[in-house]
Chains A and B, each alone.
Chain A
Amino acid sequence: MTLSQPMRDRLAPWAAVVLLLVVWEVTIRAFNVPQYIFPGAIATVDALWTHSGPIGKHAWQTFWTTLVGFLIGVVVGLILGIMIGTSKFMYRTCYPLLVAFNSIPKVAVVPILVVWFGIGTVPAIITAFLISFFPIVVNVGTGLATVEPELQDVLRVLGAKKRDVLFKVGLPRSMPHFFGALKISITLAFVGTVVSETVASNQGIGYLMMSAGSQMRMPLVFAGLIAISAMAMVMYGAMAWLENRVTGWAHRQ
């Protein structure tokens, strides 16, 4: 049977997933790896199915925590990005600090957050926020700072204020950068949440994996991984969809 070209293109990624699962299962069986060390694909899928109730509950917790942290990250990132993108002075003043701040491993911050806010959702939201705002700042800042000087002249000569240039040109022009950053940030936000949950929470996928791991229930740990990955993929897809809707002009065919 031969498949048409578009059909083959559509099936190829799914085929890759199936292939990976098969290789995974076969390898585990061939080397006789015990389940409490590294579970096979079937055991993982089985765990995903059997524990779908608790996984769903914890996944939801992780999902909305991430989303809240991410949204705060977007707002703060936009504000900082506009600040450093529109003023050379602010750029020079704040950029080194931002870079220094961003190079701190966010895991190291979680214990501090626990001292301040206790364990639970709050440190997870803050970690997700801290890890996700930086790409947005840099990208929005770059987008704004690279507006063509001629174009600014065209508008300034007509009496345009900084605000006019920002809203008519700067921000729309930065949108492709912004959405590029959103795709990175949403993925990072999941990392932030799960890291925090692993260390300091009794809810969320991070917590679920941690406690399942300590009981040597590795299939459940792997099921947790797959749940995170699925959520992150869905959100990435949502950002990509939004990007296409808003900045379709930047992706001419």
Chain B
Amino acid sequence: MPELAVDQLTAADPASGQPFVEFRNVSLAYDETGNAIEDITLDIRRGEFIAFVGPSGCGKSTFMKLCTGLRPPTAGGVTVNGKEVTGPLSITGMAFQNSNLLPWRTVLDNVMLPLEIVQPHRSRLRKHRKEYEEKALAMLEKVGLKGYENKAPYELSGGMQQRASICRALIHEPELLMLDEPFAALDAFTREELWCMLRDLWQQQRFTVVLVTHDLREAAFLADTIYVMSKRPGRILESRTVDIPRPRSLETTYEKPFADLVLSLRTRIGAVRA
């Protein structure tokens, strides 16, 4: 992949001037009990890192389902890459709070699972297995799992499992990475390590990220833009641009601008919950 300048990527798609992901007045109701999310309008630039924060049950995960095409909206329209979303988008990788690694597969085979499904890799996998395996191994090395490729998932710590899970989400080089509270089950130190891992991966590859989280520090440390959601039915109350310069180090999180940002987000959500 040719190296692209960062500013070129974070700007709106130069070819069309279109945002990468576009939500226009989107609502989704699962059943008659009312909307899970309501009237969401937002743009995500190609290569942007956005975070959703909000109280529990505010429809953050629903947003992910809409964005990936797993669910059609009840009202409004979702466009990704200039095209209306009508079905599952295979340019997406997903990772969740639970690493969901398959216990009967080795770490390497877990990471390679998407290649057995998504085209064109699916048809190429048998003949080019070596090449794909090398790619997966390189990926594992990048997240610090070199030497663990032949272990069973349960032999790994929670943090390592989550690293492997993110490798699995990225192996088919998705343009859009969806993360649903991926670090929520980890201890504080491991979590910060994984923030840095994700930051570095993103800095190198510049995929677009949608991060759903309860952790305001996490959102502030990683994201370009933070969306604050209301209680159910989830609406966007506020969109906050994080102007802390990149690359950010963990030390940044102990400085005043960062602390102010987190505090004001906290205050906002506190008001929503009340």
Binding site for B on A (CB under 8 A): 148, 150-151, 153-160, 164, 168-169, 172-173, 175, 247, 249-250, 252
Q: Does B203 contact A (CB under 8 A)?
A: no
Does the CB pair A148–B70 fall under 8 Å?
no
B106, closest chain A residue (CB): A249
Q: How far is the CA of A252 from the CA of B88 in the complex (A)?
A: 35
Query: What is the distance, in angstroms, from A34's C-beta to the closest C-beta of chain B?
Result: 58
Name B151-165 residues within 8 Å CB distance of A.
152, 154
CB-CB under 8 A for A252 and B154, given A158-B172, A159-B90, A160-B117: yes
Secondary structure call for the B interface? loop
Does the CB pair A249–B103 fall under 8 Å?
yes
In the complex, number of A-B residue pairs with CB atoms less than 8 Å apart: 65
Does the CB pair B117–A168 fall under 8 Å?
yes
Q: Does B10 contact A (CB under 8 A)?
A: no
Q: How far is the CA of A155 from the CA of B70 in the complex (A)?
A: 11
Contacts of B116 in A (CB 8 A): 164, 168
Q: Does B98 contact A (CB under 8 A)?
A: yes
Sample of 23 A–B contacts (CB below 8 Å) = A150-B94, A150-B96, A150-B98, A150-B180, A153-B65, A153-B70, A154-B100, A154-B168, A155-B114, A156-B70, A157-B92, A158-B88, A158-B90, A158-B114, A158-B117, A158-B118, A160-B117, A164-B116, A169-B102, A172-B104, A173-B104, A249-B152, A250-B104
CB-CB under 8 A for A157 and B152, given A148-B100, A150-B96, A150-B100: no
CB-contact partner of A249 in B89, B104, B119, under 8 A: B104
Sorted from nearest, which 7 A-B pairs have the closest CB atoms? Answer: A158-B118, A249-B104, A150-B96, A151-B100, A158-B117, A159-B90, A157-B88
Name B138-194 residues within 8 Å CB distance of A.
152, 154, 168-169, 172, 180
Query: What is the distance, in angstroms, from A150's C-beta to the closest C-beta of chain B?
Result: 4
Contacts of A148 in B (CB 8 A): 98, 100
Query: What is the distance, in angstroms, from A175's C-beta to the closest C-beta of chain B?
Result: 8
Q: How far is the CA of A157 from the CA of B89 in the complex (A)?
A: 6
Q: Mark B71-100, 1 if CB is under 8 A from A, else 0.
A: 000000000000000001110101110101
Query: What is the distance, in angstroms, from B109's C-beta to the closest C-beta of chain A?
Result: 11
Q: Does B69 contact A (CB under 8 A)?
A: yes
Q: How far is the CA of A250 from the CA of B68 in the complex (A)?
A: 32
Query: What is the distance, in angstroms, from A180's C-beta to the closest C-beta of chain B?
Result: 16
CB-CB under 8 A for A159 and B117, given A153-B94, A249-B103, A250-B103: yes
Does the CB pair B117–A155 fall under 8 Å?
yes
Does the CB pair A159–B119 fall under 8 Å?
yes
Does the CB pair A164–B96 fall under 8 Å?
no
Q: How far is the CA of A158 from the CA of B118 in the complex (A)?
A: 5
Does the CB pair A168–B113 fall under 8 Å?
yes
Query: What is the distance, in angstroms, from B108's C-beta to the closest C-beta of chain A?
Result: 15
Q: How far is the CA of A225 from the CA of B138 in the complex (A)?
A: 62
Task: Given A148-B100, A153-B65, A157-B88, output 13 extra A-B contacts at Cβ < 8 Å.
Answer: A150-B94, A153-B70, A154-B169, A155-B114, A156-B88, A157-B68, A158-B90, A158-B92, A158-B114, A159-B119, A168-B113, A172-B104, A173-B104
Does the CB pair A159–B154 fall under 8 Å?
no
Contacts of A150 in B (CB 8 A): 94, 96, 98, 100, 180
B101, closest chain A residue (CB): A151
Does the CB pair A252–B102 fall under 8 Å?
no
Q: How far is the CA of A164 from the CA of B119 in the complex (A)?
A: 13
Q: How far is the CA of A175 from the CA of B102 in the complex (A)?
A: 13
Contacts of B65 in A (CB 8 A): 153
Q: How far is the CA of A226 from the CA of B65 in the complex (A)?
A: 59
Q: How far is the CA of A150 from the CA of B95 in the complex (A)?
A: 8
Contacts of B118 in A (CB 8 A): 158-159
Contacts of B98 in A (CB 8 A): 148, 150
Does the CB pair A159–B88 fall under 8 Å?
yes
Q: How far is the CA of A160 from the CA of B102 in the complex (A)?
A: 16
Q: How far is the CA of A172 from the CA of B102 in the complex (A)?
A: 9
CB-CB under 8 A for A154 and B104, given A159-B118, A168-B116, A249-B152: no
Contacts of A160 in B (CB 8 A): 117
Contacts of B104 in A (CB 8 A): 172-173, 175, 247, 249-250
B95, closest chain A residue (CB): A154
A148, closest chain B residue (CB): B100
CB-CB under 8 A for A157 and B119, given A150-B100, A249-B152: no
